[in-house]
Amino acid sequence: MSNTPDIGQMNAVELLARYRDKSLSPVEVAEDALLRIERYNPAVNAYCHVDPQGALQAARGSEQRWFKGTPCGALDGVPASIKDLTLTQGMPTRKGSRTTTAQGPWEIDAPFSAFMRKAGAVLLGKTTTPEFGWKGVTDNPLYGITRNPWDTRLTAGGSSGGAAAAASLNLGVLHQGSDAGGSIRIPCAFTGTFGIKPTFGYVPQWPASSMTILSHLGPMTRTVEDSVLMLQTVARPDARDGLIGAPRTTPWLAQSDHLKGLRIAYSPNFGYVDVDPQVARVVAQAVQRLAELGAHVEQVDPGFSDPLETFNTLWFAGAARLAGQLSSAQRDLMDPGLQRIAGLGERISLEQYSTALEGRAALVAHMNDFHQRYDILVSPMLPITAFAAGHNVPPESSLTDWMQWTPFTYPFNLTQQPAASVPCGLANNGLPVGLHVVGARFADDQVLRVCRAYEKHFAQSHPHAPITPV
């Protein structure tokens, strides 16, 4: 089989086509991915664990199956990663925490890992997360800081920052993220990659997240079609998930590339968010492009006030639940920020918690009504571009918590709606900007339709190697 110098720029759909016509081998692809991880990962810390032996063994098995014309599944031979919050057989799941042990044993696959493996994906390793995925940037006491490939002085965002950095550099082509407050969409916006938080309950999650009804698992990739490949693989029932919904029976992605007849509500700021003008400019241009593709676009706010208090009540309570399972010695090893919100969570009363659940239900009902009039809501993904790594908030700001600079994300964890970040251009400072695309519950196909149409007509570039400005 021939060597292909551009392996590192291919997506999953392209790789599978090459495997079919035998112009490329899964072994070549795995070797290329591992080589580039070795070369580039030290600059970004996308991977906290790499398994070259396991990956090459899986790739050799895939090569034999493709040689015989009998692939075992839809992802056979495609290099992929799993976030370090998700159990993966043969690999440590440390969750970025010094409270965990390296001893294992690592004998169990979570549903996501199991489905990926069964479909033939070549699992390269685990990607970096903040401790227990608690915040919107990626650094942790165990593995350190994950950096942005567009400028290694900056954060990749979080909590799936490792997966986003890996997707940006194509260190593997399929990456698993999780999103309980924006953790797929935030880093995708900061790194110019695509990611979707599917409707809650489509993708099984076990063991259950401490954030329970807020937490979604989903794909992070360079292209929409690659994410669809992942969704088709992992969005299926698993008996271990007590919160799983009914399986999806309709296609994830319609065949049409136009947006004719689609009703899109565009909100520049939700009526209460201060958005950086350069971000606002890029997003407004992207929305104009959606109109050019045939969508009926109306500028309108979603009509709710900031649900931060509701979100924080549930988030802090989840952190308290997590910390409550640890000894005092273990808690002393935790990220101080996580310790702080766990302490706040311990003081939440039953009445406060119940009030938050009622507020969540009211927001769900409000957005259900909103989507009777509009198929899709679009907005900026974030009000800012990436900031200096090693900080929870932009260091020049007066902000104190990561939720304060992610106001567009967490409302839709409360409502459990499908929501995606699609790259829509670069700000004046040369950094990526994401367009936030939100659909009604169970209307994941509409979200993906918008994102694919945009991507097809307005393709975005990606860095070939980490950029470190002098």
Give catalytic residue positions. Answer: 83, 159, 183
Please say whether the beta carbons of 433 and 152 come within 8 A: no
Please say whether the beta carbons of 441 and 416 come within 8 A: yes
Q: Token pair for residue 158? A: 């979080």
Q: Token pair for residue 437? A: 């695309």
Q: Counting every residue, how long is the chain?
A: 470
189: phi then psi, degrees, rounded to nearest 5: -65, -40
Residue 421's CB is within 10 A of a number of other CB atoms, namely 35
Q: Token pair for residue 226? A: 């690659």
Q: Token pair for residue 432? A: 């990526």
Largest CA distance in the chain: 66
Phi-psi region of 303 (alpha: psi -120 to 50; beta: other; left: phi over 0): left
| β pairing state of 216-221 and 194-197 | antiparallel
417: phi then psi, degrees, rounded to nearest 5: -80, 155
Which residues partner with 195 through β-bridges? 220, 421
> Which residues are within 8 A (CB) of 253 and not within 5 positions of it... i.e. 6 or more apart?
224, 225, 228, 445, 448, 449, 452
Sign of CA dihedral 94, 99, 103, 108: negative
Query: Whose CA is closest to 184, among 422, 453, 442, 467?
Result: 422
Cα–Cα distance measured from residue 13 to residue 16, given in angstroms and rounded to the nearest whole number:
5
Query: Whose CA is closest to 110, among 241, 265, 243, 249?
Result: 241
